[in-house]
């Protein structure tokens, strides 16, 4: 029913185009469309990955529903039918089928410009820093940790939301200076609470959420979760079965692409090379499997 989508083409004002999502401005609301674009090493690949946008959108919706008791969020409704779409878009907007299953209507918030990173396991940039300096995000960490090891407690390691270039770690004081003391405390508490809730659930389904990133915003003076949450694009998801301490872990979703890119000799500068069809197929399968394993649901509106 649905089809592969590289770029949305709605007759609505654009709020922003990211690496993966195209967001439209509906005044006090947003329409967030997850395309099938895939980024690796911060570069968008030229090939769409069929059904990836469905997976990302439906995983986010799943978590928004599941965690709303822990922290309210921006989701108004997922877009699953043409009727729900019509209801939320202004008259005379084009209503392409490709939106079904890959988009949601949300509240528009005043964004808090902090990337709220939570780490339950030591990996990626945190592992690189720890190996070199014994610290994580500038704070001394327990001695003797191995790569990918679970931390004694999940930690909050916020960063700036850089418009260009790399996000920089924020100390507690810096976060307070940016957003105020009480908001800083709320960001930390809620980020940890939502992460722990999701981590415990995912563990029961054989998936490790090693780390993740949240964004928050204000609506009518109240802090809510915005953006996407707990997707493979905003988190590290590992397969519990394959988890081995002391090395980097294969990615649950993008590993076929990463492996192929590594073998291709690509220098990680744009443009990225085109992927062979079998790598695209394997990657779609990984995303769909991750979705079904995590949620126990069947993906809606799949193309094949």
| Nearest CB to Mg ion, comparing residues 35 and 249 | 35
215 binds, among ligand ATP, Mg ion, none (CB under 5 to 8 A by kind): ligand ATP
If one asks whether residue 72 binds ligand ATP (CB under 6 A), the answer comes out as no
Of residues 223-252, which lie at the interface with ligand ATP (CB under 6 A)?
226-227
Check if the beta carbon of residue 34 is closer than 8 Å to that of residue 56. yes
Binding piece for ligand ATP, criterion CB under 6 A, among 75-83, 103-111, 122-130, 138-146: 103-111
Check if the beta carbon of residue 62 is closer than 8 Å to that of residue 297. yes
Q: How far apart are CA 26 and CA 12, in angstroms?
A: 8
If one asks whether residue 184 binds ligand ATP (CB under 6 A), the answer comes out as no
Cβ at position 202, least distance to ligand ATP in Å: 22
Cβ at position 215, least distance to Mg ion in Å: 7
20 binds, among ligand ATP, Mg ion, none (CB under 5 to 8 A by kind): ligand ATP
If one asks whether residue 74 binds ligand ATP (CB under 6 A), the answer comes out as yes
Binding piece for ligand ATP, criterion CB under 6 A, among 11-19, 139-147, 169-177, 205-213: 11-19
Check if the beta carbon of residue 202 is closer than 8 Å to that of residue 161. no
| Nearest CB to ligand ATP, comparing residues 29 and 197 | 29
Interface map 51-70 toward ligand ATP (x if CB under 6 A): --------------------
Within 13 Å of residue 197, how many CA atoms lie on the same side as its CB? 17
> At CA 269, angle to CA 267 and CA 270, rounded to 5?
130
23 binds, among ligand ATP, Mg ion, none (CB under 5 to 8 A by kind): ligand ATP
Cβ at position 50, least distance to ligand ATP in Å: 19
Binding piece for ligand ATP, criterion CB under 6 A, among 5-13, 14-22, 131-139, 275-283: 14-22
Tell me whether strands 150-156 and 114-121 are parallel, antiparallel or unpaired: antiparallel
| Nearest CB to Mg ion, comparing residues 54 and 226 | 226
If one asks whether residue 107 binds ligand ATP (CB under 6 A), the answer comes out as yes
Of all helices (H) and strands (E), which one includes residue 75? strand 75-79
Within 13 Å of residue 288, how many CA atoms lie on the same side as its CB? 16
Task: Using alpha carbons, select from 102, 47, 6 the residue that is nearest to residue 280.
Answer: 47
Interface map 8-27 toward Mg ion (x if CB under 5 A): ----------x---------
| Nearest CB to Mg ion, comparing residues 111 and 173 | 111
Torsion angle of C-alpha atoms 154, 158, 159, 163, degrees rounded to 10? 110
Cβ at position 241, least distance to ligand ATP in Å: 30
| Nearest CB to ligand ATP, comparing residues 218 and 243 | 218
Q: How far apart are CA 175 and CA 88, in angstroms?
A: 36
Q: How far apart are CA 22 and CA 184, in angstroms?
A: 29
DSSP states of 145-165 as a string? --TTPEEEEEEE--EE--SSS
Cβ at position 6, least distance to Mg ion in Å: 18
Check if the beta carbon of residue 35 is closer than 8 Å to that of residue 21. yes
Torsion angle of C-alpha atoms 221, 188, 29, 106, degrees rounded to 10? -140
The footprint of Mg ion (CB under 5 A) covers 18
Interface residue list for ligand ATP (CB under 6 A): 16, 18-21, 23, 30, 74, 106-109, 111, 215, 217, 226-227
């Amino acid at each position: 029913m649905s089809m592969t989508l590289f770029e949305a083409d709605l007759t609505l004002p654009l709020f922003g185009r990211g690496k993966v999502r195209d967001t439209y401005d509906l005044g006090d609301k947003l329409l967030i469309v997850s395309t099938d674009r895939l980024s690796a090493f911060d570069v968008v690949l030229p090939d769409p990955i069929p059904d990836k946008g469905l997976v990302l959108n439906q995983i986010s919706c799943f978590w928004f529903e599941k965690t709303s008791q822990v922290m309210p969020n921006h989701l108004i409704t997922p877009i699953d039918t043409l009727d729900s779409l019509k209801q939320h878009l202004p008259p005379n907007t084009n209503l392409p089928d490709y939106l079904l299953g890959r988009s949601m209507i949300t509240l528009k918030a005043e964004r808090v410009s902090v990337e709220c990173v939570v780490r339950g396991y030591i990996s990626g940039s945190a592992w690189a820093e720890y190996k070199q300096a014994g610290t994580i995000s500038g704070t001394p960490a327990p001695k003797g940790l191995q790569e990918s090891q679970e931390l004694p407690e999940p930690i909050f390691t916020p960063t700036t939301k850089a418009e260009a270039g790399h996000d920089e770690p924020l100390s507690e004081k810096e976060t307070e200076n940016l957003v105020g003391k009480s908001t800083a405390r709320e960001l930390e508490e809620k980020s940890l609470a939502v992460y722990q809730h999701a981590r415990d659930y995912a563990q029961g389904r054989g998936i490790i959420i090693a780390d993740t990133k949240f964004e928050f915003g204000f609506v009518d003076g109240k802090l809510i979760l915005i953006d996407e949450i707990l997707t493979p694009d905003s988190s590290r998801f590992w397969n519990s079965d394959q988890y081995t301490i002391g090395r980097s872990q294969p990615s649950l979703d993008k590993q076929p692409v990463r492996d192929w890119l590594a073998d291709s000799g690509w220098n990680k500068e744009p443009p990225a090379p085109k992927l062979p069809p079998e790598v695209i197929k394997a990657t779609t399968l990984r995303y769909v499997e991750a979705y079904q394993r995590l949620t126990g649901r069947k993906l809606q509106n799949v193309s094949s």
